[in-house]
Each structure stands twice: as C-alpha cells, then as structure tokens.
C-alpha cells in the first residue's frame, strides 16, 4: 500500500494546527502560553518558529508542573509539544510527549477528554509505522471511543483511514474499503481543498480493491486520480500491479516507464513484469539494479521493498540452483522480520501476532519450501522443506484467528491449499523414506487442519458469543448487524437499478463499519479475547482413544495426482498413498449424472462406476476397517459428492450400506471437539411441510404430497401449508432439539441458495425464502439434529479445502450438532418412507447414523416397495453429517415377560387379599 511519506505527514499536521486550539484552564504562566500559541498557530511556520513554539511549551510545562497545576492546559501543552516533535522528526520524543499528555489527563482528572483524541491517534500512527500493530490498534481504539462522544472532531477522517490500513495490512481488503471511503467522504465534507489527502485516501481504496481482485474497480479509481496530478508515481505503480494481475505485463511496463527515476519499488515492478513475460535476462537486469540500490541506500528504504528484491532474485535463480534460490528467499525473510538474521535456509522465524507483512512472509516461506524440496532428495533437506511449509501454515493459522470475516478467510484459503498439499505429500514421502511414524501424524494433522477451517472458525465465534458475562447489548447488536448485512448483500445481488444498488451499497458499508466497531469492543473483553485467539490442535491420540473397538475413521486428502487415505481405529493410525488418475474424477462426474434421474440411470453402468470408486477409495484400506461396524467418512473436495453407502466391491452387488453404519464429517477437528452429551428427553420435533397441499397456494412451486405424511405423528409441533412460514421457523427453531423441514430447496440458483417456506399470495418471492447467508447468522447451538428433507440441501459450490458450501453446511455453521441432508433431487414418497422409519428408531435411542441406516435397510427390504423404486436414486441421497451421539436419552426397557409376570403377581396378591377379607366376614 502507498504510505504517506514523512514530509507529507508534516504538511498535514501543519494544516490542522488551526483546528487544535483548546480552552485554557488554571493559572498557567500567561506570557509563556501566549508566546507558545503565537508560534504554534503561525500561518507560515518554519523550522525556527516550530522550535521556538516547542521551547515555549516545554517551559510552560515545567512551570505548570512546578506549581502543581495539572490542568487541561498541561494536557494540551504536552499534546502540542508532541505534534511539534513529530514535525521536527523527533519521533521518540513525540511518543513521550503524547504519553505524558494521556498520563496527566488520567492521573489528575481532566475535564475535556477530546484533548486526548490526537495523542491517541498519533501514538497509534507512530506504532503503526513501527509495525507494532497491536499497540497501534490499542491507541486507535482509544481514539475511536472519544470519537463516539465527539463525532465531529478534526482529523476523524484520519482515524478511519488508519483503521482501513490496519484491516488492509492483515489481509481483510474488503473490510478496509468502507473505512477508506468513509475517510474520503468526511474529508470532502470538511475540507474540499485538501486534494492531496483525498487522493491518498482514494488511492488506498483502489489499492484495496486491487488486492481483493476487483481490478476493474481499482483501475477506474486510478485513472480518475491521475487528473489530480498528485502522487502520480504511486498511482502508476499501482496501475502496473493491476495490469500484471490481469496478465497484461506489457501495459504494466508502459505504466512503469512513466515513473521517473530508479526507485527500488519501480525496479521490483519491472522485474516482476519481465518475469511474467518469461524474459529472465531482462528481469535479472532490473533485479540486480534493485539489489545494488539497496546495498547503498538500505537504511533509508522500506524493508518490504528489499524483501521483494531478494524474493525475485530467488525466483530468477530457481531455473538454475534451487539451493541458491532458497538462500535468496532466506535473505528476503530476514529483510521483513526485524532481528531475524539467520542465513541458513533450514532456520525459520518465530511466528507471533501483529506481523504486518504476513502475506509476503507466507509467500516467502512457501517459495523456500518448494526450492528446498527440489534441491536435494536427501531426508535432511526434505525435513527443512517441510519445516518451511509448517511455519507458513502456522502463520496462516495465526492470521486466520485474527480475521473476523469469512470473506478474508476464504481469500487466505486459496493461498494455503497449495502449501498444505505440498506439505502433506512431503510428510508421506518422508515416512516412506525413513519409516518414522511421526510423519504420518504430521501429514494427517496438516491435511485435516486445511479442511473446513472457515467452518471451524465460524463455530468458534458462535462459542465466543455464549461466554457468560458478555454485554447483552453488544451481542444483540452484533447478531442484528450480521443479519442486516446478509439481507443487504442479497438485496444488492438481486437489484437491477444502479441507483438503488448504490444506495444499498452505502448502507452495507455503514453496517460493516458498525459491525467492526462492535466486534472491536467485544475483543476488548479478556475472556472473549482469550478464546478468540486460542486454537486447540487436532489430537490424533485423543480421537483414537475415544473410538470404540467397532469404530473406524477414513479421511481422504489428495494433491496433484496422489490420493492419501488415512485410517484411524482404536488399534492403529496409518495412511495409504495411491495414484489418482483423471478417470477417477470422470467416474465421480458420471456417478452424479447416473443419480440425477431414475429414468436415465443404467444399472450396469452405475455398478461399474461404484466398483471403480470402491477400488480407489475402499479397497486399499479395507483390511484396516473390515471388522468395524461404524464408519466415519471425512471426504475432500470432489470426494464430497460421493455417497459411500452406495459403493460396492467388484463381484458383490451388496452396497457398503449393508456392511457399515456410515456418517460423514467436515474435518477431524470436529471429532476432537465432539462432546459426548447425553440425549434429550422427551423427543420433540419442529416439523414443517409448507407444500403438502393443505395451504392451497405454492407460489408456482409443485406440491409435495408425501411431505404431510412424512411429518405426521411426530411429537412436538407440526406446521403445514400456510402455517409453515419463514417467520414461524425463525421464531420457533431455537426451542426444539430436532427440526424437520420437508420442503423445496434450491442450490446454485442465480437468486442464491435457499430453503422455501409457505409463499403468501401477493408477497415478494424473497419473503418466504431462507437464504444460506441468513442461516449463517442464526444460533442453532441447542439443536441436536436438523433433517433437511428437501432437494439438494447438500449440494452447492465446491470450495477447495472447505468442501461443498451448501445449505447443510450453513446449518452446521449455525451450531447444529448434526444434519441429515439430501445430495440430489429425490423422490418425495421414498424419502417420506425412509424418514418416518428413521424417526421411530431415533425415539428408541438409536444414534442418528444408525437410525438412518436401519431406515434405509427397511426400505430396501419392504415388499410393498416396487423393485424399480429400490434403485439408488430413491434411497442413497440422504446423508448423515456430524455428531453421532444418540439424539434421545436411552431408556432401559423392561422385558415383556417380566412385565406379564409382575402383573400376574399383583393380580394374585389382590385375589389373596380379597379372599382373606371374605373369610373374615364369614
């Protein structure tokens, strides 16, 4: 990001002096005060007058302190001396003066805390320039609290710009944009003539758009800013970056030629442009020029620019000596981490919070790992490569915990997946080379940490909201703002009017700013902060110890053309590596096509596909799990589309459904944290069937005649037809441990992904739809099971490493312990028969996965179901995801024989008593 240079900061401070005068209290030396104020507020100040002003304020401070006059005048004098020290480039003295201003105010009960806004703001900026982001954030938050009480304070726009910069530096580019926009809007409302600062704020906004991938939006702003003829060098540099990202390196070079001089940032950009054009000789020329420049001017230049020069040197060296490339990457790491001087590529820096250049550091560690992995096949060098990858992943995990938006986490996810795949591959390779089983554990943990990490972060935030003692008003505000943001996002995507979209976009930006402020206040609470930044590691031994002797786990991960099948049982943990060829992915696609409709399915073709998938996914590990009853499947990427119950070994038409009770989960981390909670009692269900035919109006959607029978007789509350509204669901969902939705659902529609409820005549289509973005904002942490008996609730967009981002995943994100979901559009009647039986087994105390398996087996063995309706299309779509604990508390039933014997005994006793009474009467 373009940063304001020191001389520009000084200009801004001078420009704002006239706004900084404060009322004077107490009995200060009036002569000294008037003299200091005169020099401070000169319209044409100079270094000499600034020093005279500073000398007068320092004399005034000494006089006030000697007289014991600790008033607002003293606070203000410290503040202004700090500003003068900053202008005179005495940064340490400026920090001391600002700190004294704050200390004097707090220790002696100041009356006007608006005096502290600038000390907090400037201290934050000074720490920001030193890369001490935690300290910067602390002082910015203090300044923000003052701004809440005095919203029209001068320089408030600079605080918004600084908050934007903080979000930018931690990779939350989209989140930074509203702050830069707000800064520009405040400046325009207050000081239209200050075009220099306006260009800076809008340049920051465009740079954030560039980083978030909105190249067109960024270029539109850059081109507009060129007309101001201010900061043109910076703007051309940013435009060059945009062109390179858009694979237009020649246009980038044209922009760079408009930048005068040989500044290293220009030389680095030229190096990158020629690398992208695959012209290593030209790239090497500019790279050597940059390195030579740093050798002479290093102390005066940004460390990140030097790091990029070494990074590009490594990229150029890769085609020759990979060991040399690794050495260059190591030098680049040392350039961006103060105090890290190790030149040995086998040594990695410690990871801590507040690393400002985390994105560059991640890329450098990843590049070093690749170079080392290709430099030498010996285990010692491969271990160094793995260590570099692990350090990069540790950094990513730390940054992930610092993020507060899923959008930023998904952006990071794309960078992490490649490193994760290389690390897993290298770990398994080291295990095969050395026989050291520690590498199996490493491979497993790396793979599983990369699965559904965004979902796990969301659930951690839901857990945060349940900490006792948190301010109820803040939690309510956070929940409401998230819900409003979801609605605004949907409205923006559906609105065709550019004018209305602009208005909605402004509302979205305002709500984003409000949400950020609320979340910062929550993060100031120690208990919240501690849990927010705590991440429990996946404990393989814990998972293994807590498995029954009839339980097994199969978790899959693939990278490139290699599949890694991990197995965990109570006896063993291991991995099998097998080649993964393109026909495997074709088989997955063909399987989905065969299951879309029973009319087009060919049993012979389907059997061949399930045999093929069995040979790849089950056969290599079957000997490890053949004696198990319960099987937990943790898939990866395209494997998420496969219903494992359907697979069968060649020569045997019986599917795995008959051999195993199968459930699914998103990642092993969910097993590590799974609580063995007791079942609920009584069994109460919120059951909804809006399209059973009783409502008379479906909004054009087809009736689901089997849905009424599907929920009939379930204990709890049953809502059909017009009673099954979206609002009813929102009002009642938190009061029932089990929810059953027998309705329509749409995945990957242009209007979004959503569940349909009753559609009242004359209302907008969206009023009856529960969108996935809205589900993410719900709190369903007390829901033990949700049954989504609707088409395609398990279908959605596949996100690398996260799995299928579907409606079922949204309910898991909202805290629901387990979900039964539908993988494709299935038959209404068959689904009803299976789920009715499943509820019966659940009420008898069966676990959710076992209840679903028994219900499917009953369906397949039911003589009243035609043979054609027993094709996989009719039963294999239902999948159980999540916690396998029984939903209802187990009841120890009394044997029937014992009940009959007890009744006969009671009857005999009553007869004896009556006979005894009769004998006494006679």
Q: Coil, helix or strand for 437? A: coil
CA angle 245, 246, 252 (to 5 degrees): 75
Q: Which two tokens stand for residue 739?
A: 């929810």
CA angle 219, 510, 213 (to 5 degrees): 30
Structure confidence at residue 1 (pLDDT): 39
How crowded is the C-beta side of 331, counted as CA atoms within 13 Å? 17
Left, alpha or beta for 610 (phi > 0: left; psi -120 to 50: alpha)? alpha
Instruction: Centre a 10 Å sphere on the Cβ of residue 547 and count the other Cβ atoms it contains.
Output: 18
Q: Which residue has the higher pLDDT, 877 or 678?
A: 877
Q: Give the mean pLDDT of 511-524.
A: 73
**Of the listed ranges 268-282, 398-412, 579-593, 595-609, the one predicted with least confidence:** 398-412
CA-CA distance, 662 to 140, in Å (whole number)?
52
Q: Which two tokens stand for residue 26?
A: 């107490």
Kindly report the pTM of this predicted structure.
0.72
Structure confidence at residue 538 (pLDDT): 72
Confidence of residue 532 (pLDDT cuts 50, 70, 90): low
CA-CA distance, 817 to 819, in Å (whole number)?
7
CA-CA distance, 103 to 93, in Å (whole number)?
15
Structure confidence at residue 268 (pLDDT): 94
Q: Per-residue pLDDT for 19 more than 60?
A: no
Most confident among 395-404, 646-655, 671-680, 896-905 (mean pLDDT): 646-655
Instruction: Centre a 10 Å sphere on the Cβ of residue 415 and count the other Cβ atoms it contains.
Output: 16
Q: Per-residue pLDDT for 655 more than 60?
A: yes
Q: Give the mean pLDDT of 746-755.
A: 70
CA-CA distance, 488 to 503, in Å (whole number)?
10
Q: Which two tokens stand for residue 682?
A: 């009584």
Structure confidence at residue 567 (pLDDT): 95
**Of the listed ranges 223-227, 470-474, 490-494, 604-608, the one predicted with least confidence:** 490-494
CA-CA distance, 874 to 870, in Å (whole number)?
6
Spell out the SS3 assignment of 683-749. CCEEEEECCCCCCCCCCCCCCCHHHHHHHCCCCEEEEEHHHCCHHHHHHHHHHCCEEEEECCEEEEE
DSSP code per residue over 529-554: HHHHT--PPP-HHHHHHTS-TTEEEE
Please report, rounded to a whole number, the percentage of residues in the chain having pLDDT higher than 70: 78
- 352 DSSP 8-state letter: -
Structure confidence at residue 771 (pLDDT): 84
Confidence of residue 6 (pLDDT cuts 50, 70, 90): very low
Residue of 619, 568, 562, 553 whose CA lies nearest to 427: 562
Q: Give the mean pLDDT of 183-201.
A: 88
Distances (CA, A) of 555 to 421, 540, 662: 15, 12, 13
Own/partner long-range contacts of 279-283 (Cβ < 8 Å, ≥24 apart) = 280/316, 280/319, 283/312, 283/316
Q: Per-residue pLDDT for 676 more than 50?
A: no
Ordered strands of the 752-756 beta sheet:
745-749, 752-756, 769-771
Instruction: Centre a 10 Å sphere on the Cβ of residue 526 and count the other Cβ atoms it contains.
Output: 8
Q: Coil, helix or strand for 630? A: strand
Q: Which residue has the higher pLDDT, 759 or 235?
A: 235
Q: Are the C-beta atoms of 911 and 917 separated by less than 8 Å?
A: no
Own/partner long-range contacts of 192-197 (Cβ < 8 Å, ≥24 apart) = 194/15, 195/228, 195/230, 196/8, 196/11, 196/230, 196/231, 197/12, 197/157
Structure confidence at residue 653 (pLDDT): 77
DSSP code per residue over 781-840: TT-SEEEEESTTTT-EEEETTTEEEEHHHHHHHTT-SEEEEESS---HHHHHHHHHHHHH
Instruction: Centre a 10 Å sphere on the Cβ of residue 650 and count the other Cβ atoms it contains.
Output: 12
Distances (CA, A) of 364 to 314, 326, 370, 800: 10, 9, 10, 22
Confidence of residue 325 (pLDDT cuts 50, 70, 90): very high
Judge residue 750's burial from the number of C-beta atoms within 10 Å of its C-beta, 0-12 exposed, 13-18 middle, 19 or more buried: exposed
**Of the listed ranges 170-184, 294-308, 907-921, the one predicted with least confidence:** 907-921
Sign of the dihedral defined by the CA atoms of residues 336, 342, 345, 348, in that order: negative
How many separate helices (H) and strands (E) can be counted in the chain?
38, 16
Distances (CA, A) of 409 to 173, 370, 414: 11, 24, 9
Structure confidence at residue 3 (pLDDT): 30
Judge residue 877's burial from the number of C-beta atoms within 10 Å of its C-beta, 0-12 exposed, 13-18 middle, 19 or more buried: buried
Structure confidence at residue 647 (pLDDT): 94
Confidence of residue 288 (pLDDT cuts 50, 70, 90): very high
Distances (CA, A) of 183 to 20, 164, 204, 722: 19, 9, 10, 48
- Phi/psi at 404 (5° precision): -125, 15
Judge residue 116's burial from the number of C-beta atoms within 10 Å of its C-beta, 0-12 exposed, 13-18 middle, 19 or more buried: buried
Q: Per-residue pLDDT for 309 more than 70?
A: yes
Confidence of residue 659 (pLDDT cuts 50, 70, 90): very high
CA-CA distance, 905 to 32, in Å (whole number)?
108
Q: Which two tokens stand for residue 909?
A: 């006793």
DSSP strand pairing (630-634 vs 818-822): unpaired
Per-residue pLDDT tens over the stretch 585-629: 999 999 988 888 777 788 889 999 999 999 999 999 999 999 999
Angle separating helix axes 117-129 and 133-149, nearest 10 degrees? 160
Spell out the SS3 assignment of 263-330. CHHHHHHHHHHHHHCCCHHHHHHHHHHHHHHHHHHHHHCCHHHHHHHHHHHHHHHCCCCHHHHHHHHH
Q: Which two tokens stand for residue 354?
A: 């507040």
Structure confidence at residue 535 (pLDDT): 53
Q: Give the mean pLDDT of 840-855.
A: 92
Q: Give the mean pLDDT of 79-108.
A: 90
How far from chain centre, in Å, is Cα 675? 23
Round the average pLDDT of the chain to a whole number and report it. Answer: 81
CA-CA distance, 440 to 557, in Å (whole number)?
13
Q: Give the mean pLDDT of 266-294.
A: 94
Judge residue 626's burial from the number of C-beta atoms within 10 Å of its C-beta, 0-12 exposed, 13-18 middle, 19 or more buried: exposed
- 490 DSSP 8-state letter: H
Q: Coil, helix or strand for 71? A: coil
Per-residue pLDDT tens over the stretch 535-587: 556 778 888 888 889 999 999 999 989 999 999 999 999 999 999 988 999 99
Q: Per-residue pLDDT for 405 more than 70?
A: no
Q: Per-residue pLDDT for 483 more than 70?
A: no
**Of the listed ranges 335-344, 458-467, 722-731, the one predicted with least confidence:** 458-467
Residues in the chain: 922
Q: Are the C-beta atoms of 340 and 323 separated by less than 8 Å?
A: no
Q: Which two tokens stand for residue 49?
A: 């007058």
CA-CA distance, 53 to 21, in Å (whole number)?
14
How crowded is the C-beta side of 424, counted as CA atoms within 13 Å? 28
Q: Which residue has the higher pLDDT, 153 or 254?
A: 254
Q: Give the mean pLDDT of 766-773.
A: 79
């Amino acid at each position: 990001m373009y940063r304001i240079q020191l001389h520009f900061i000084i200009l801004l401070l001078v420009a704002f002096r006239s706004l900084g005068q404060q009322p004077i209290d107490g009995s200060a030396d009036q002569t000294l005060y008037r003299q200091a104020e005169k020099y401070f507020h000169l319209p044409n100040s100079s270094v000499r007058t600034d020093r005279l002003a500073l000398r007068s304020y320092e004399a005034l401070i000494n006089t006030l302190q000697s007289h014991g006059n600790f008033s607002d005048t003293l606070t203000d004098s410290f503040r202004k001396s700090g500003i003068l020290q900053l202008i005179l480039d005495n940064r340490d003295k400026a920090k001391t003066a600002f700190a004294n201003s704050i200390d004097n105010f707090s220790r002696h009960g100041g009356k006007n805390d608006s005096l502290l806004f600038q000390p907090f703001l400037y201290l934050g900026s000074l720490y920001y320039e030193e890369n001490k982001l935690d300290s910067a954030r602390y002082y910015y938050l203090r300044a923000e609290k003052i701004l809440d009480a005095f919203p029209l304070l001068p320089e408030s726009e600079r605080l918004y710009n600084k908050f934007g910069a903080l979000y930018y530096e931690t990779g939350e580019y989209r989140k930074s944009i509203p702050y830069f926009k707000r800064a520009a809007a405040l400046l325009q409302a207050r000081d239209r003539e200050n075009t220099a600062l306006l260009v800076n704020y809008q340049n920051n906004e465009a740079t954030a758009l560039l980083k978030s991938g909105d190249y067109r939006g960024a270029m539109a702003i850059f081109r507009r800013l060129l007309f101001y003829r201010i900061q043109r060098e910076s703007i051309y540099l940013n435009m060059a970056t945009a062109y390179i990202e858009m694979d237009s390196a020649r246009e980038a070079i044209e922009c760079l030629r408009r930048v005068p001089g040989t500044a290293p940032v220009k030389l680095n950009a030229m190096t990158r442009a020629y690398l992208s054009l695959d012209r290593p000789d030209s790239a090497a020329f500019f790279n050597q020029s940059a390195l030579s420049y740093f050798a002479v001017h290093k102390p005066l230049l940004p460390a990140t620019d030097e790091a990029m020069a070494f990074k590009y040197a490594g990229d150029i060296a890769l085609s020759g000596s990979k060991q040399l490339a690794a050495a260059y990457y190591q030098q680049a790491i040392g350039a961006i981490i103060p105090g890290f001087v190790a030149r040995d590529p086998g040594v990695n820096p410690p990871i801590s919070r507040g690393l400002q250049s985390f994105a560059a550091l991640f890329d450098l560690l990843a590049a070093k790992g690749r170079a080392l992995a290709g430099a030498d096949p010996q285990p010692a060098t491969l271990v160094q490569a793995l260590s570099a990858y692990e350090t990069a992943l540790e950094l990513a995990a730390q940054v992930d915990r610092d993020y507060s938006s899923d959008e930023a986490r998904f952006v990071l996810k794309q960078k992490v997946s490649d490193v994760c795949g290389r690390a897993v591959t290298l770990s398994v390779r080291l295990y095969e080379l050395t026989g050291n089983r520690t590498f199996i554990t490493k491979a497993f943990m790396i793979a599983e940490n990369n699965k559904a990490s965004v979902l796990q972060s969301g659930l951690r935030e839901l857990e945060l909201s349940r900490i006792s003692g948190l301010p109820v008003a803040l939690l309510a505000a956070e929940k409401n703002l998230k819900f409003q943001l979801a609605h605004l996002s949907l409205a923006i995507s559906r609105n065709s009017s550019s004018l209305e979209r602009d208005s909605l976009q402004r509302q979205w930006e305002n709500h984003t700013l409000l949400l950020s402020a609320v979340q910062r206040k929550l993060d100031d609470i120690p208990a919240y902060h501690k849990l927010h930044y705590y991440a429990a590691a996946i404990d393989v031994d814990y998972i293994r110890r807590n498995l029954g002797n009839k339980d097994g786990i199969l978790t899959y991960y693939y990278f490139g053309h290699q599949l890694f099948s991990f197995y965990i049982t109570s006896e063993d943990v291991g991995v099998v590596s097998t080649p993964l060829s393109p026909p495997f992915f074709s088989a997955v696609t063909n399987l989905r096509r065969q299951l879309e409709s029973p009319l087009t399915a060919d049993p012979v073709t389907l059997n061949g596909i399930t045999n093929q998938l069995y040979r790849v996914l089950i056969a290599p590990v079957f000997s490890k799990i053949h004696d198990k009853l319960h099987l937990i499947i943790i898939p990866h990427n395209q494997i998420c589309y496969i219903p494992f119950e359907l697979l069968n070994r060649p020569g045997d038409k019986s599917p795995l459904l008959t051999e195993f009770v199968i459930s699914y989960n998103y990642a092993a981390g969910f097993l590590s944290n799974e609580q063995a909670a007791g079942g609920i009692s009584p069994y109460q269900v919120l059951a909804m069937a809006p399209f059973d035919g009783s409502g008379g109006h479906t909004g054009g959607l087809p009736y689901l005649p089997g849905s009424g029978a599907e929920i009939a007789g379930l204990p709890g509350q049953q809502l059909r037809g017009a009673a099954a509204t979206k609002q009813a669901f929102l009002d009642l969902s938190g009061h029932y441990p089990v929810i059953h939705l027998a309705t329509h659902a749409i995945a990957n529609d242009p209007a979004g992904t959503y569940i349909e409820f009753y559609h009242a005549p004359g209302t907008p289509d969206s009023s009856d739809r529960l969108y996935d973005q809205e589900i993410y904002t719900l709190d369903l942490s007390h829901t033990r099971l949700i049954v989504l008996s609707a088409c395609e609730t398990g279908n959605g967009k596949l996100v690398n490493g996260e799995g299928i981002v579907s409606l079922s995943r949204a309910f898991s994100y909202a805290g629901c312990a387990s979900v039964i979901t539908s993988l494709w559009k299935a038959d209404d009647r068959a689904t009803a028969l299976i789920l009715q039986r499943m509820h019966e087994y659940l009420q008898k105390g069966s676990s959710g996965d076992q209840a679903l398996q028994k219900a499917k087996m009953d369906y397949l063995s039911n003589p009243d179901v035609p043979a054609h309706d027993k094709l996989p299309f009719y039963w294999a779509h239902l999948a159980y995801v999540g916690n396998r604990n029984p939903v209802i508390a187990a009841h120890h039933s009394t044997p029937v024989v014992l009940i009959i014997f007890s009744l006969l005994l009671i009857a005999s006793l009553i007869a004896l008593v009556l006979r005894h009474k009769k004998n006494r009467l006679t």
